[in-house]
Amino acid sequence: MTISTYAVVENGAVTNVILWDGQSGWEPPAGTTAHPLPDGSPATIGYLFDGTSYTAPPATPKTPS
């Protein structure tokens, strides 16, 4: 059994990253889907997923203090 890294995606955004064999009885939470991440992918929580590729979220502008 091979364990891989999966992104849990909800409404086009990664909400979690898990290790899973892709076959065992686990299912993504309601309203989410699990997608295998390519080896070395930097995608993590907050990344955007368009159904094909992952992109970093837009940078949040800093508020002057």
**Domain range for residue 26?**
4-55
Residue 48 lies in a domain: yes
Residue 60 lies in a domain: no
> Which amino acid is it at 14?
V
* Encoded tokens for 18: 């898990």
Residue 14 lies in a domain: yes
The pLDDT-based confidence of 1 (bands split at 50, 70, 90) is: confident
Residue 27 lies in a domain: yes
5-52 tens-digit pLDDT? 999 999 999 999 999 998 899 999 999 999 999 999 999 999 999 999
Residue 62 lies in a domain: no
Q: How many structural domains are present in the chain?
A: 1
Residue 63 lies in a domain: no
- According to the 3-state scheme, what is the secondary structure of the chain? CCCEEEEEEECCEEEEEEEECCCCCCCCCCCCEEEECCCCCCCCCCCEECCCCEECCCCCCCCCC
